[in-house]
Every structure is written in structure tokens, then in C-alpha cells.
Amino acid sequence: MIRTETGSLGTDLRTLAPAFLAWWLGELGRLVPAAWRRALQGSTGRLVVELGPLVVVRRVTPDREQVVARLAAGDGLVAALADPGDGETALEVRLAPEQVLRRRLDLPLTRDRDLRPLLSFELERRTPLAAADLHFAARVLARDRPRRRMTVEVVLAKRATVDAASTAIEAWAGRTPSVAAPAEQPGGWAPMLVERRTRSPASTRRRQLLAGLTCLATLLLIGLVLADAGRRAAETAALQAQLVAAEAAARATRDLQLKAATLAAERRFLPEQRRDRSAAAAIDAVARVLPDDTWLTGLTLDGALVRIQGTSAAADRLIQAIDAAPEFTDARFAAPLIKVQNAASERFDITFRRRSGAPR
């Protein structure tokens, strides 16, 4: 089993997922009433058998740690402890310090999930034993990313030693124990070399209840997310409807403003023309010059420049008639004459200038 120090975790999902699951289940457990938790937890203690010249048997619970027996290594455990605990009591064996080997290795930087294959190769290279003959655990102490190196602490024991200790305790307790390495100092790192999980009807019920609580919490979370998404969608739809209505109102306002401006310009046209004596005089002079068979469709005054458009039965003689008038000069066609279909007239576009002496 590979353990990594807090703060040195990689981004490997397989490493982060168990920690997150443990935290999530702990948070769910706090929501359960205390009486229910005590009833569901059942036996939460464990028996720890520490091997060595003097074998120490401890009963460890969340509240306290009690030394049950101390005896010489050659004595039988049955004589020291008649009751090895029920099937729900976790059983753990801690090897003697001389049965394990600790090493700190400088290795190439790698992901947590690739660390165990790398260590198997390194241990076979640095020890006379094959990786299959060893039980080992490791933790990453430091990562030097610029150098692409990392420092790893490895604790290993011979598989034969671990199996012998496990077999001896199994013969006494009637079930297979977990096997851990001793800590270098009290409260230090005591890695698990072989981990056995206790399964019982009560623990199965606890897992089922926790799974049910997890599913319920997940469903509640999904419901909240969907409700919030629905509320946001409704708000978005309402805002979009308001925006469409506002755009329609703005278009209607612009149309009304354009119509009002057009009407105002049309209402101002005749009074302005009446007030402009120069324009009135020019229009009157044009009316006198043009023959009766001529009709105007447009007249533009730009200072001294006059431009007229219309139809006439004798459009080719209009230039001569305009130049003959004392008020005008420099008459010319601004565009070619166009024959009007099904009529004895032509369309004309003529520009000319008012003489400087003409009234304006």
C-alpha cells in the first residue's frame, strides 16, 4: 500500500477519490443522530498485537487504549488473552523493529499510481530479494519538480516474516489480521503492509445505510441543482421576453419619430417657400417660360442653380425657351431625353442658372 503525506498529493484521481469519499461519508455521518450512530457503529475497537522480545496486546477504542497483556515471545497468546474479540473487532499485528527495513530513496518524479511499479523495480535492483518476496509500503516525502526528482520513504519486510506472523495470530483469533510496520517513534508513521477489512452483518448494514444516505444526499443535491437551473431558466426567459418587448417599443418609437419629422417637414415646406420670395420668383419665372404642354415632376433650387424634371411634347425646344428668358442662362440637359411609352412626350432633366440681375 502506498501512502502519501498531506500536502504532497499528486493530481492522480485514484489518490484523491478515497480521501474525498472518506470526508463525504464523515460529513453524512455527522447528520445522523448520536444514538443512531452508536447503534450502527457497533464495536469500533481493535486489537493490536505488537511483536518483539516482549509481545504486547492492546485494545484500542476511540476513547482509550488499554494494555491487555504483556508476555514473552515464546508464550502462547491464548494464555494471555482468552477472548480475541468478536468478528467485528479489527485485528492488527505490528512487526518488531528488527523485522522491517526503512529506506529513503531518491527517485525520478512520477505519478502516485506509477510509484508502486517503480518501487518494485528499484527494490529488486537494490536488494537481493524479488519484489514478489516482499511486502512494502511507501510515502512521498518531497517533490523537486524543477529537477524532476522526489524523495520516497519505503518500509519493507520479507513476505515470509509477514506470513508467519499473520498465520500465528490467525490460529489464535480465528481470522486473518492486518499487518503493520512499527512506528519509529510514538505517534509516528506506522504503515500498513497487509490490510484486512473486517466484514460482518452489522458492518454490511452500516455500509448499506451509508450508501443509502449518500444516494439520498446526491438526489437532494441533484434536485437543488435542477431547481436552481429551472429558476434561472425561467428568469432568463422572462428577461428575454422583456428585452423583445423593449426592442419592439423602441422600433415603434423610432417609426413615430420618423413620421413626425416627415410631417413637420411637409408642414414647413409651403410656409417656408412663401417666405422665400427668391424661390417664389424663380418658380413663377419657370412657369412663364415653359409651354403649356410641359409638366414638371421636380424642381430644385440651390442658390443660383435651378434643376427641373418633367415631361413635354417638345422637350428638345425647352433649352432654347429657357435661354431666351431674361431671368435664366446656361440651360443644358442633365440627362438624355427619354421617350414616354404610349405617349407623344419625352422625359427631360434640365439644369440652368439664374442671372445675377434676376430677383432672388
Do 123 and 136 touch, CB atoms closer than 8 A? Answer: yes
CATH of the domain at 288: 3.30.1360.100
pLDDT of residue 54 exceeding 90, the answer is no
Structural domain contains residue 8 = no
User: Quick one: 269 and 283 in the same domain?
Assistant: no
Lowest mean pLDDT among 7-21, 135-149, 254-268, 269-283: 7-21
d(CA 50, CA 97): 10
Share of the chain above pLDDT 70, in %: 78
Structural domain contains residue 20 = yes
Average pLDDT score over residue span 305-329 = 88
pLDDT value at residue 78 = 45
User: Quick one: 175 and 225 in the same domain?
Assistant: no
Structural domain contains residue 1 = no
Average pLDDT, the chain: 79
User: Quick one: 82 and 123 in the same domain?
Assistant: yes
Look up residue 139 and give its three cell numbers. Answer: 510515502
User: Quick one: 298 and 339 in the same domain?
Assistant: yes
User: Quick one: 187 and 214 in the same domain?
Assistant: no
pLDDT value at residue 272 = 66
Kindly report, residue by residue over 153-188, the tens digit of the pLDDT: 999 898 888 888 888 777 777 778 888 888 888 878
Lowest mean pLDDT among 79-88, 144-153, 176-185: 79-88
pTM of whole model > 0.95? Answer: no
User: Quick one: 232 and 262 in the same domain?
Assistant: yes
Cα distances (Å, whole numbers) of residue 346 to 71, 211, 318? 134, 96, 11
198, 225, 251 — which closes off a domain? Answer: 198
pLDDT of residue 34 exceeding 70, the answer is no
User: Quick one: 92 and 46 in the same domain?
Assistant: yes
Structural domain contains residue 2 = no
pLDDT value at residue 1 = 45
Question: For cell 503525506, what's the residue?
Answer: 5
DSSP 3-state of 127 = coil
User: Quick one: 112 and 170 in the same domain?
Assistant: yes
User: Quick one: 109 and 136 in the same domain?
Assistant: yes
Largest CA distance in the chain: 147
pLDDT value at residue 205 = 67
User: Quick one: 256 and 286 in the same domain?
Assistant: no
Which tops the pLDDT comparison, 43 or 133? 133
242, 273, 304 — which closes off a domain? Answer: 273
Which tops the pLDDT comparison, 87 or 93? 93
pLDDT of residue 88 exceeding 90, the answer is no
273, 306, 334 — which closes off a domain? Answer: 273
d(CA 335, CA 354): 20
Structural domain that includes position 130:
13-198
Degrees (nearest 5) of the Cα angle 335, 337, 340? 130
Degrees (nearest 5) of the Cα angle 292, 298, 303? 110
